Amino acid sequence: MAQKEYGIDFVLRAKADSNLVAEFNKARSEFQQLGNQVKELNTLQKDISAYQKQQQAVQNTGAKLQNLQQQYALVQQEIKETTGRTTALEREKLKLEQQINATSTALEHLKSRVAAFRQKVPDSAVNTAHMAEKLPP
pLDDT, tens digit (0-9, with 9 covering 90-100), for 92-106: 999 999 999 999 999
Q: What's the whole-model pTM score? A: 0.63
pLDDT, tens digit (0-9, with 9 covering 90-100), for 65-93: 999 999 999 999 998 888 888 888 899 99
- Cα–Cα dist 63/54, whole Å: 14
- Cα–Cα dist 15/12, whole Å: 5
